[in-house]
Amino acid sequence: MKPQEFDLIVMGGGSGGLAGAFRAASHGAKVALLEPRELGGTCVNVGCVPKKAMWLAAELSQKIALASSLGFDVAPPTLDWKEFIVHRQRYIAGIHASYRKRLDESGVVLMPCHGHFSDAHTVVNADGVALQGRQVLIATGGRPSRPEIPGAGLGMVSDDFFNLCAAPPRVAIVGGGYVAVELAGVLQALGSQVELFVRGQRLLDGFDEQITAELADDMRQHGVRLHFGHAVAALEEASGGGVTVLAVDGTRSERFDALIFATGRTPNRSGMGLDKAGVAIDARGFVQVDAYQNTSVAGICAVGDVTGQAALTPVAIAAARRLMDRVFGGQADAKLDYRNIATVVFSHPPVGKVGLTEAEARACFGEQVSVYATRFRPMLHALADSPQRSLFKLVCTGDDRRVVGLHLLGEGADEMLQGFAVALKKGITLADLHDTMAIHPTSAEEVVLLR
């Protein structure tokens, strides 16, 4: 049978794959997209979207508790998880329907199945149909990894969190990154007693240390128990069910009703036949790409988590769109600038950053670095006499005090960072911030008042 021919074959229907397919089709390309599971990938199904929904539920729970301390006649909040899941999944189903409609309108051929390379230009789908593409985009994403330790099967991974129908009474979370911190905050707010087991001595590697230290204090104020320098050696089944954690130093935890591993992610490339296509893989197992998202094989590109580059949904989308603008839109220099990417951790309270940490800035600019920070209690928490604190921090360099890093911990940090990220990319200085009128009373005004 003669292979079906396309201008672009997209392997993976997550955020990056869909963005690439839609943008290529808008340039007139004939596109096929292969995705064996639900459209939207990790973000829509077991990542950003359901995570943010659960975070919002947790936020409501905390706000109701604050309302009670301010005089509102409200009972202690409890969440009917099953009822909330109905709303969460209805929202996600709407996203799936929107994607399918856009694919139809764009003329993209959706093949709901897996595909593998038979050579550098041919992809064979699970039905045995050969597809030939002038370009192939690998956008298969990643999945949670489980450590190779005895008893690891007793623990869940982050994907399993979304199958929960109630908050387990006692939960252990292994890890100290984005996922661990976010799940810890949500579960603690919704009724679990959470303990976080972190191999290192701090949370959120890559974030400013002063900010993460303050976050750890805030998490403790919310009741999360933190164990730093705690390398997990094994899990053991507890008598009567549940699990206990055995550390490398021999210490054994109390019994937990559930344990979640949040110890990193693995690229989805199994069974793809990348070796037959000649696509190079790096030492960590990720697909190697250059600054233009090209792999080692002409005509094969990759974006998103499968490449190991800044594993964030907007990054995969932006990289895919610029790639298609270059390949099909005639924009020869189009590529994603990976510098100064703003990002937020939906902790309680949220953490946001853009640019360099203080340590990174000092490594680059030495004595030219100046730092400005303020620690304060947001108005609502001050009214309720809550101990939660916010910490805002600016990192500047040079005589003109150009802003090279902005770090926010506190309520509203997730919403206020976006505009400041634009300003930082445009090269604002401390004087520019001081020349901007403060909006009072808000937390955001603290950024323009830093001295």
So which residues are the catalytic ones?
A: 440
Within 10 angstroms of residue 332's Cβ, the number of other Cβ atoms is: 10
* Residue 153 CB-density burial (10 A; 0-12 exposed, 13-18 middle, 19+ buried): exposed
Cβ contacts of 398 within 8 Å, gap of 6 or more: 365, 368
8 A C-beta contact, residue 137 and residue 303: yes
8 A C-beta contact, residue 176 and residue 205: yes
> Mapping DSSP to helix (H, G, I), strand (E, B) and coil, where does residue 448 land?
helix
What is the Cα–Cα distance from 40 to 52, expressed in whole angstroms? 15
H-state helical runs in 291-376: 313-327, 358-365
Residue type, 17: G
8 A C-beta contact, residue 244 and residue 254: yes
Count of CA atoms in the C-beta half-sphere (13 A) of 40 = 20
Order of all β-strands in the sheet with 402-409: 343-345, 351-355, 402-409, 390-397, 369-376
Count of CA atoms in the C-beta half-sphere (13 A) of 51 = 22
Helices and strands: H and E segment counts in the chain: 14, 21
* Residue 139 CB-density burial (10 A; 0-12 exposed, 13-18 middle, 19+ buried): buried
What is the Cα–Cα distance from 350 to 52, expressed in whole angstroms? 11
Tell me whether strands 4-11 and 31-34 are parallel, antiparallel or unpaired: parallel
Q: Which of 325, 305, 302, 337 lies closest to 425, judged by CA?
A: 337
What is the Cα–Cα distance from 15 to 170, expressed in whole angstroms? 34
